[in-house]
């Protein structure tokens, strides 16, 4: 099973500038991500960045680095530039691993790549996990997904989908207090993607979809254009990524206690 991991790593971040270079246990965060990705079955691991400081650090620990444009509107655009610069073939598979997930399990990376291989009709593969409480279900920062019988995505939304009409017949003034319906299972989307390079090439030619603009979810652009996205339940629960200073301090505390940062 041959595939490539690409790790986008931007220096600019609204909440935590420079976070790929943040020190965790004596290593920059991006090195932890690179090491987790290197534990997967990927034939090649590439870091994509638009910042020379990140490039310098990554080359120091031996990573392959591709410098990309600072003008990309999305991470998918950045992946397409890497695929184009490195001469990837349309049939090649690329797994996008975010540069702020130092605890990403290598098993999840392999799972996404394997699912993309197992479902040749899918242009994208991704993962999900069950939602078991209504505060999470009604949280707009938690993206929900509904699939068909084959695991192909019907839709992604920030809203609680499907809507449990019988269980939630009353106006949900306090949605977090509503019961979890017994009639349906609910899933949170996990933001790791596997792409066929042919999809990446098409994606950068499409304008934003109306649903994408409404929900602020980039994957809806692919669905709007008719691309199939395979969604599987994650084989292991992933740890949260690093979005804030508090997240970073939590990981540093883990290293102080255990002496190592690992899934």
Q: Does residue 258 sit within a domain?
A: no
Q: What is the pTM of this model?
A: 0.91
Query: Which residues touch 35 (CB under 8 Å, ≥6 apart)?
Result: none
pLDDT the model gives residue 32: 93
Give the model confidence (pLDDT) of 50-81 as tens digits.
999 999 999 999 999 999 988 888 888 999 99
pLDDT digits (tens, 9 = 90+) for 162-199: 998 888 876 556 766 778 888 889 999 999 999 999 99
pLDDT at residue 157, rounded to an integer: 98
Contacts of 45 (CB under 8 A, 6+ apart): 4, 5, 7, 34, 37, 38, 63, 64
Indicate if 127 and 225 belong to the same structural domain. yes
Angle at 161 (CA atoms; ends 158, 166), nearest 5 degrees: 140
- 125 and 234 in a single domain? The answer is yes
Asked if 137 and 66 sit in the same domain, the reply is no
Is residue 156 located within the same domain as residue 95? no
Q: Find out whether 200 and 90 touch, Cβ atoms under 8 Å.
A: no
* The pLDDT of residue 262: 59
Angle, CA 128 vertex, CA 150 and CA 78 arms, to 5°: 100
CATH number of the domain encompassing residue 136: 3.90.550.10
Q: 99 and 6, same structural domain?
A: yes
User: Which one of 75, 104, 133 terminates a domain?
Assistant: 104
Which residues have CB under 8 Å from 213's CB, separation 6+? none
What domain range is 161 assigned to?
119-190+197-238
The answer to whether residue 64 sits within a structural domain is yes
- What's the domain count of the chain? 2
């Amino acid at each position: 099973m041959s595939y490539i991991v690409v790790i986008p790593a931007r220096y600019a971040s609204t909440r935590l500038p420079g976070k790929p270079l943040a020190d965790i246990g004596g290593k920059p965060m991006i090195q932890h991500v690179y090491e987790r990705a290197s534990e997967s079955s990927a034939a090649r691991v590439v870091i994509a960045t638009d910042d020379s400081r990140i490039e310098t650090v990554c080359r120091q620990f031996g990573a392959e680095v591709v410098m990309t444009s600072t003008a990309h509107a999305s991470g998918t655009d950045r992946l397409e530039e890497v695929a184009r610069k490195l001469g990837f073939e349309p049939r090649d598979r690329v797994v996008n691993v975010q540069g702020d997930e130092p605890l990403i399990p290598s098993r999840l990376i392999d799972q996404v790549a394997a699912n993309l291989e197992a479902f040749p009709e899918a242009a994208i593969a991704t993962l999900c996990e069950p939602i078991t409480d209504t505060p999470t279900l009604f949280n707009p920062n938690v993206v929900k997904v509904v699939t068909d019988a084959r695991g192909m995505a019907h839709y992604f939304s920030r809203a609680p989908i499907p809507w449990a009409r019988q269980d939630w017949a009353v106006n949900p003034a306090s949605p977090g207090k509503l019961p979890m319906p017994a009639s349906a299972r609910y899933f949170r989307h996990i933001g790791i993607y596997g792409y066929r390079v042919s999809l990446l090439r098409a994606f950068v030619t499409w304008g934003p979809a109306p649903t994408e603009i409404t929900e602020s979810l980039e994957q809806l652009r692919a669905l709007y254009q008719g691309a199939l996205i395979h969604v599987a339940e994650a084989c292991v629960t992933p740890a949260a990524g690093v979005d804030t200073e508090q997240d970073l301090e939590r990981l540093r505390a883990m290293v102080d206690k255990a002496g190592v940062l690992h899934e």
